[in-house]
Amino acid sequence: MQLSSEALFNKMPTIEIEKQYNELKKHKLPEFKELDSEFEISDLEETNFLLKAIIRRMAEKLDFYSTMLEEVLQPDTSNLYAMHETKFFDEDEKKQMYELYTKLMNFNRQSIEVSLEHNEKDEADFINNLLNEWKALKQELLMFVRKMRASWKTEEADIKEDLGYLG
């Protein structure tokens, strides 16, 4: 099967990044496809510091999800959706959410630390460790996200109460 020039162009970043990634296999990194599936690394630009670029991509995801949890745990009164969603979690759920938040923040800060140290082995270890933990973290996140989404489908989504915080 021959690819059109457009299809070939669209595949080039993936092919080049995967090739560059496979050259780092001495670090016993996870399979490219698995890491790409979770952290979308195939669209990274070619770089002399691929491990750092992967860690930055992982950190972006950690930032996104930790901020999402933070908004529910400590809602800003000017943030309508956070004020709404936080009401749907009891204290035990918020405690579980905070525990997940601390795990995400630990990985987040560790990503900064390994990026500052310039040690390929530590960078590779971080990538492996986060990917190994990610599946469990993702399941916990899904549990909370599903409840956040469900909060918008209930009769309890009382606009007067939500807007009362603003006025």
Place of tokens 């709404």: 84
Q: What is the pLDDT of residues 85-141, one digit of tens each?
A: 999 999 999 999 999 999 999 999 999 999 999 899 999 999 999 999 999 999 999
Q: Quick one: pLDDT at residue 13?
A: 55
Whole-structure pTM value: 0.81
- Please report whether residue 86 resides in a domain: yes
Please check whether residue 38 lies inside any domain of the structure.
Answer: no
Q: Are 59 and 111 in contact (CB under 8 A)?
A: yes
Asked if residue 35 belongs to a domain, the reply is: no
What is the amino acid identity at position 130?
L
CA distance 51 to 118: 10
Tell me, yes or no, whether 135 lies in a domain: yes
Supply the range of the domain harboring residue 93. Answer: 49-164
Tally of structural domains, the chain? 1
Burial code (b: 16+ CB inside 10 Å, e: under 16) for 105-135 equals eebbebbeebbeeeebebbbbbbeebbeebe
Is 6 a domain residue? no
Question: Do the domain assignments include residue 17?
Answer: no
Q: Is the pLDDT of residue 71 over 70?
A: yes
Inside any domain, residue 4: no
Q: Does position 157 have pLDDT exceeding 70, yes or no? A: no
Q: Is residue 32 part of a domain?
A: no
**pLDDT tens-digit readout, 1-41:** 444 444 434 444 567 788 888 888 788 999 999 999 999 99
Distance CA 46, CA 25 (A): 17
